[in-house]
Chains A and B, each alone.
Chain A
Amino acid sequence: MILPEEIVYIEQDLQKRGLTSRALQSEILDHICCAVEDKMAQGQDFQQAYQEILVSFGKEEAFPELQKNTLKAAHPTTRTWPRLVAWTSSIAACISFFILFAGDSQAQDFPGVAPLRGDYDIQQTYGAYQHPTYAIQEFHSGVDLTSPEELQVQATARGNVQEVGNTQEGTLYILVQHAEGLQTLYAGLEEAWVQEGQAIRQKEFIGKLVPAQNQEHTGLHYEIIWDGKSIDPQPYLKK
């Protein structure tokens, strides 16, 4: 049987080897402990067994690689649309918005303000980018905004709250339904002040952001979703 201090040893060693996701850490820890126990049952000592298991996992980058692949496989929101599709749907959305913006009373029904009042900074724009740690192409499906003074988030158009939930990072998100096929998403929130089904006005405050120093993912992640596909929200943020 594996000893408690040996389990702790493995846990710390895995962390050092790049397994930093807490959820994945416990699952892989259990896997490795089982494998080590099997080997020890065949007569090997702990270190011998553990070293052999590590070798079977692969080269140096085996653990970061495993973590990257697992998180990528489980993450539902990373989209990698072919550029043509993203471009075409952006154009289609622009044209539709332009036509429908004709009447001023209808302006409230479409995103025409930024979700943060006053001055804001764009931390990350919409579109393809190189992941900071792993050399893979990622797609940022919205825009990340921060503001030095404003933590309150406002709805960018009139609509109904479709969903309020938790993101993978442990923050809250709010999904709002506007006209048919049009939605906006606000993620990175500490508090949500609306409920599912609630009708909201344009510029109504719907929640509050996690303060900048408390999270790794700074600011508000804002998306405009047209017919199920995210489009670049930047043209629709009027400062």
Chain B
Amino acid sequence: MYLCIMYSKELLKGTLQTIILKLLSEQEKMYGYEITQKVKELSDGKIAITEGALYPTLHKMEAQGLLTTETVNIGKRVRKYYFITSQGNDKATARIEEFADFMNTMKALLSINLKVSS
């Protein structure tokens, strides 16, 4: 699904929506390309989201009411900005908590010592 260098497909499947929700809960509006660049930057280049994964996900989230959009004219092109809705914000919180819980569960199951990086 994504093009990713460090993590396996199974781990990343299902987290794309959570990533998008988190980003848009912290930044008022973003467009598709901006989202891919931000993820690359925040993940230190370890996660590169493909367009084939990103756009279907963004459109699905819009249809589900988690995001709204606004198109802006920038000269010769039109840019579509995504915003999070209040429903999306609630989902973001729930998903992030769920993922944190998942990490703790896996940590226990796999006996990992999670190194907390500063």
Q: Which residues of A contact B (CB under 8 A)?
A: 4, 7-8, 24, 26-31, 33-35, 56-58, 62, 65-66, 69-76
Contacts and interface: CB of A to CB of B under 8 A. Distances in A.
Interface residues of B, number: 22
Contacts of B33: 30-31, 34-35
A173 to B, nearest CB: 17
B57 A28 contact: no
Contacts of A62: 52
- Interface of A, helix, strand, loop or mixed by DSSP: helix
B40 to A, nearest CB: 11
Interface in B45-90: 50-52, 55-57, 59-60, 62-63, 71, 74-80
B76 A76 contact: no
Given A30-B78, A73-B63, 15 more contacts: A4-B75, A24-B55, A27-B55, A27-B78, A30-B79, A31-B32, A31-B33, A65-B52, A66-B52, A66-B56, A69-B52, A71-B59, A73-B59, A74-B56, A74-B60
Given A26-B80, A69-B56, A31 B63 contact: no
- Interface of B, helix, strand, loop or mixed by DSSP: helix
B24 to A, nearest CB: 16
A12 to B, nearest CB: 13
29 contacts: A4-B75, A4-B76, A8-B76, A27-B32, A28-B51, A30-B33, A30-B74, A30-B77, A30-B78, A30-B79, A31-B32, A31-B51, A34-B34, A35-B33, A56-B50, A58-B50, A58-B52, A62-B52, A66-B51, A66-B52, A69-B55, A71-B59, A72-B56, A73-B56, A73-B60, A73-B63, A74-B62, A74-B63, A75-B63
